Structure formats: C-alpha cells, structure tokens
Amino acid sequence: MKIKNIIEVLESWAPLKLQESYDNSGLIVGAPHWETNGVLVALDCLESVVDEAISKGIHLVVTHHPIVFNGLKKFNGSNYVERVVMKAIKHDVALYAIHTNLDNVAWGVNGKIMDVLGISSHVVLSPAQGMLRKFQVYVPVEGAEELAKAVYSAGGGKISNYEACSFKSIGEGTFKPISGASPVIGSVGKHEYVQEAKIEFMVPSFACQAVELAARASHPYEEMAYDWIDLVNTTPEYGAGALGVLKEPVDFMSFLRQVKSEFGATIKYTKPIKDLVKTVAVCGGSGSFLLDAAKRANADVLITSDFKYHDYFDADNSICILDIGHYESERFTIDLITERLSKKFPKFAVLKTEVNTNPIQYY
C-alpha cells in the first residue's frame, strides 16, 4: 500500500490545519509514493522504535509526538533526533506524526481519555475560535442537489453529529451575457430570468478550498456566483481539552484509585474541593493552559500533566488538579490510532509498538 493512502485517512480524521503553530505534524521523513506493507504505531519516535519497524519489515511509523520540532542544521548523529532521522532515511522508513491536530478534535486524544474513564458523552472544553465560515452559492434549481452532494463530499455541511446540513431558498436570478461569454442558458446580449436556488452551508475553515473547488466542478454555469461569510459561531468538534459528566458521582478517593489504575499513573493532586466527583475536564499532555476553562465549566477535577509547582496554587480551592504524567495521559493514543487505521484497513498490518517510550522512571 502507498503511504499516501494511509496519510489521507489520518488527515481526513484530524486535518493538518488544526495543528498548533509550534507543531510539526505530518510526514517528516519519506515520500507519499513510498510503499509499505504495514504501520507501526507509537507515542514517540525513538531509535528503538525505528529498529522495531526495520526488524518487522515495516516502512511507516506513525507517532503522536513529532521527532522533529525545530529545524535541523546538521546530521552527524550528535543527538537522538538526528540519529532517528538518519536511521529512518537509511532504511527507507517513513515517519509521520499526528500531534496537536489529533488533540484539537473532539474524537481525538481527549475523547479517548473520556472513553477510558467511562464517560460516553463529552464536549470540547475550550472550543476553537474562527473555525467556521458560511458558504452560500446560487445555482439553477435543477442543479441544486448535485452541487449540494459535491459540497458534502468535500467536507461542508457538517454540524456536530449531523451531516448533509444546508438551507435552500428559491428565487429568480437574472443576467445578460455579453461579448465573450459562452452561456449554458440564454444567448449573448439578451436578458435571462432563471429560477435559482441559494444554498447555504456551514464549512470548517480547513475545508473551504476543497468545498469551493467541488462546487465549481459540479456547477452548470460558466461563472459561479457565491459568497464566503466569516462566522463567530463556535463548534463543539474542534478545540482543546474535553469536558464530560460521569454516569454517577463517585467519591473522590475511589475516583483517584480508578485513574491511577486505568492510566498506570503516579498522581500529583491538589486538595479535593468536593467529596464526590461528577464533572470531569481532561487534556492529554500539557494542559495547565486549560485550568481557567475548566474552572469556568465548574469541573470538579482537571486531569492532565506537566503543571509547574506554582501553577498548582491556581487551583485556588475551586477545582482539583490531577497531574497524572505526560506519557500516562496520552498512552491510550496508541490504541486510538491503531483502532482507526485497523477499521479503515482491516486486511492491513497495523501494529502497536512493543517499546515503552516513556523517558521517566519512577522509584
């Protein structure tokens, strides 16, 4: 199978445009046209992970964390990043990362954490701003259905758990072709009056270009009349962290034991604010930036990692911070990616790494 086929699945699931500005998700080593007979999934890309891929004859490693965050100026093996890249290139092993773009979708890293906690329904804790635009296009009534299908297939018209969403209004369109035009309807120099539909779609910002191209390709007119309108609406699908409610309230120490057991964590936590835990906020990886959002949401606990000492004081008796460790908070991301690819390619080898990439040891 070509690597590009696997990339298409990953990026339709978590579009690259959703990654943070500091991130380096995507294909880091290799080329889309390379062939691979399997995928090895890991949280981090280390030399030992590349060695594992080589030993198993696999030419694509998919990790959550990118091996390269900043530009490399030398390749002499002086650090582990250079050694990983050099070894991957030497053995034709492609390296792909799906990082903050997978953090920033409701069904990604934080959705998986909610699944592990037994929370079946959740929302994004801090919805992304400026993610939605409205596309409205004018088309002859008889061509409206075909155009709408094209827009849906390109990623438009999806609102939360609903797809193929649009609004259509019927009116009269007028135009007069002038010299140089090749009109589908009417003739040069003559006023035309046509029954047209105006169709409106909500479109995520990363799909705008694809939607416009799809609409143009399916539109019957020589020139397509359309508008893009910026929206202030938020969407529950894109953004940081997640917020959910347990089916039944659980006493704090029982909840703490559950988290410790499920995530294999050594937990640092602040003073509990309630005897029972019901509303839970989570953020895989470093999530201290979401503390205020979790407070505003009246969460009882925030499960995340990488808090600095003085940041714990910001809990301020209004929420309980559970710092469970970076690796521990994201360990199930390996399962998440593996499950997704296995579902899309049921007859293709999608393997989870046997290497524990956690750089921290506990005593």
For residue 361, how many other CB atoms are within 10 A of its CB? 5
For residue 159, the model assigns a pLDDT of: 84
For residue 187, the model assigns a pLDDT of: 81
Q: Which residues of 158-185 are buried (b: 16+ CB within 10 A; e: fewer)?
A: beeeeeeebeeeeeebebebeeeeebee
List, in order of start, the domains of the chain with CATH numbers.
Answer: 3-99+332-352 (3.40.1390.30), 109-127+238-326 (3.40.1390.30), 132-230 (3.30.70.120)
For residue 309, the model assigns a pLDDT of: 97
pLDDT at 180 over 90: no
pLDDT at 233 over 90: no
Least confident range of 92-96, 172-176, 199-203, 319-323: 172-176
For residue 41, the model assigns a pLDDT of: 98
175 vs 340, more confident? 340
Crossing angle, helix 109-117 and helix 252-263, to 10 degrees?
A: 120
Name the average pLDDT for the chain: 95
